[in-house]
Structure 1
């Protein structure tokens, strides 16, 4: 009797836990684990090209599917690949692969993608690399993996696609909220650029930002009116706002706090940098009097002036 693969068996248990919850949302505690297991399985059988220094991930294999779709059966996959490639919030191949997996789960097409992927790699070995015979193309592992992928395709996933800026670093996503502002008053924030992200460093006294408490030091401005600030250069937020002057604003904020109030782990090193620059910052439990208000109920006006590393957002 062939030995059971521990990853396949763990994924099976995780899927059972997901199914017991009904509709799967980002708050489901088993979602990140399930996605991580899928990623480990897809990577376990990878063989890198011999005559190349470039390291390739499973995302490149998904990309290559489009070149071998001679029957036009993968139109939904084509759209998902295009959406993934066009997403400016993703910097690495790892992030793009994770984004693609989430899209496939949400659109219930993961099973068909895996089926076509395995079939393509059995017959066409002209892509950059492929799943090698010791795992995914091994008949002892292919069928269980494909079956579990089909089960996932039958489940209802209602997960966010917009909240993807940290998929490069982690399957665990931060809290992301939207603040809407009309051009009537000032906001008043000081911004700090770290590793291509726009952090809130401070709120000006008696400013709209401080009064509404829609943001706090350590939060990240992820996008403004659909314009991503991922991988932003110094002063870019000010440039974006100057172009939108006089228009209503929709600001996507990434919170440094998780749902449970703890620090979102991928931000720990950045928060330490902010605290070194401004020692008075405190990243601890939030006072009960400062609970977040419902997104979309605040109003304000923004103007900005860019500086070398820190930007006054007032």
Structure 2
């Protein structure tokens, strides 16, 4: 075999790019050369294997010898042994090819892919794996070249997401792996269909916590819920996983069903087809949504201090409600704050010592609310939904509203304060109160 093997030339090109690019950026899954690099490494490990070197599968698989060298500890380091054990214990990959692919990614992260190559090239163990004429690892010179390239590769810091493994049995093409943390809730608002051991989102409730801002969409694959890998045999345990985390944030890891331009991920297209989901219409919807975002006018983007995000409000003041945080305190609190302001006006005192705080922007967020200065943008009030115990207004003062919050989660708080606001737009007040009310539902508190 010529020393100018095309697979080696291709590998050298990828590693050259890696060495140059790793100086200025992190080498993660979004790096353009990762997928072809890994495919190239697989091709080298699979090239020229004796077909007799397989265990229970059609064709020869290099995973078998890569795993075997850890059992004899011939030249295998602790780091490599750990990598192999992690792949062995991973239930997301089932086939030898899937395990090989996950091992390549794991070894790149751990900088130890050269270890098994060194064992077979220099220590000649194991034997009888590769044909001498039709492989890189079976040829003494090519094997040494391959080893030297991998040693250079081991100096690069890879940050590949190893949890993204459920489709490695089928393909090297991986979709985005995203982890969301939601506020404590009883339900996420998702309907999940199971096919081929995988759970795919087939419906999303618009008012549900997971559907906010399109965090989770139809076609996304549910991979982990609170650290538990989700597959068909666990479909009945989803509710129990939610109950185990009652009162705590919910962590959901998903594989996105479409890419940045709205195209569906091919392996998920096949799953959606079996679940009777119209993939053509779904992809068209994603593309239309992305197109509408791109065409949205920029006039709504804040460009000055006075155009910051949020609803314009006037912060009127704070009053303690003692150990009570129920909604019945709202009426009295608003009265107390207004009375205090009127008495200051009559006496000639300054109503509010900080004008920036009085003119504020009320922002409704995923985990809570915050109020910032309309002029400077500085945040002067911020409370999570866990801390807010009630909200509301007065029928005789429709342009006023308030919420009560404790010094910690309101089910254990000892002291509560009521924060009172004025807003000229009654529809925006209703929006604020309804949004806080939805936050209550997600955090188990009632308005």
State if a TM-score over 0.5 links the two structures. yes
Give the Cα separation in 1 of the matches to 2:157 and 2:55.
40
SS at match of 1:85: helix
Aligned to 2:79: 76
Q: Is residue 249 of structure 1 aligned with residue 241 of structure 2?
A: no
* Structure 1: runs of 5 or more not aligned: 303-314
More strand by share: 2
Q: Residues 35 and 163 from structure 1, CA distance in 2 versus in 1: closer, same or farther, beyond 3 angstroms? A: same
Aligned length: 293
Match among 61, 70, 88 for residue 57 of structure 1: 61
Aligned to 1:312: none
SS at match of 1:199: strand
Match among 263, 277, 289 for residue 287 of structure 1: 289
Give the Cα separation in 2 of the matches to 1:212 and 1:50.
51
Give the Cα separation in 2 of the matches to 1:211 and 1:106.
34
Contact 2:226–2:250 (8 Å) recurs in 1:
yes
Contact 2:180–2:252 (8 Å) recurs in 1:
yes
SS at match of 2:283: coil
Residue 77 of structure 1: how far off its partner (Å): 1.0
Residue 185 of structure 1: how far off its partner (Å): 5.6
**TM-score relative to the length of structure 1:** 0.81
Give the Cα separation in 1 of the matches to 2:186 and 2:258.
27
SS at match of 1:137: coil
Contact 2:200–2:272 (8 Å) recurs in 1:
no
Q: Residues 109 and 198 from structure 1, CA distance in 2 versus in 1: closer, same or farther, beyond 3 angstroms? A: same
Give the Cα separation in 2 of the matches to 1:266 and 1:161.
18
Q: Residues 270 and 108 from structure 1, CA distance in 2 versus in 1: closer, same or farther, beyond 3 angstroms? A: same
Q: Residues 257 and 83 from structure 1, CA distance in 2 versus in 1: closer, same or farther, beyond 3 angstroms? A: same
SS at match of 1:252: strand
Moved more, 224-233 or 44-53: 44-53
**TM-score relative to the length of structure 2:** 0.59
Contact 1:217–1:281 (8 Å) recurs in 2:
no
Residue 269 of structure 1: how far off its partner (Å): 1.6
Max radius of gyration: which structure? 2
Aligned to 2:131: 132
Give the Cα separation in 2 of the matches to 1:104 and 1:168.
17
Aligned to 2:27: 24
Contact 1:175–1:259 (8 Å) recurs in 2:
no
Residue 301 of structure 1: how far off its partner (Å): 5.1
Q: Residues 207 and 280 from structure 1, CA distance in 2 versus in 1: closer, same or farther, beyond 3 angstroms? A: farther
Residue 286 of structure 1: how far off its partner (Å): 5.5
Give the Cα separation in 1 of the matches to 2:21 and 2:53.
44
Aligned to 1:308: none
Contact 2:202–2:277 (8 Å) recurs in 1:
no
Give the Cα separation in 2 of the matches to 1:217 and 1:5.
45
Q: Residues 37 and 208 from structure 1, CA distance in 2 versus in 1: closer, same or farther, beyond 3 angstroms? A: same
For the aligned residue pairs, the C-alpha RMSD in angstroms reads 3.1
C-alpha deviations, 1:210-269, integer Å up to 9, x for none?
344321111111011111114645545345445545543211011111244422222222
Contact 2:177–2:253 (8 Å) recurs in 1:
yes
1:50-129 map, 5 Å: 54-55=57-58, 56-69=60-73, 74-120=77-123, 122-125=124-127
Q: Is residue 40 of structure 1 aligned with residue 43 of structure 2?
A: yes
Q: Residues 301 and 65 from structure 1, CA distance in 2 versus in 1: closer, same or farther, beyond 3 angstroms? A: farther
Give the Cα separation in 1 of the matches to 2:228 and 2:165.
14
Give the Cα separation in 1 of the matches to 2:54 and 2:2.
34
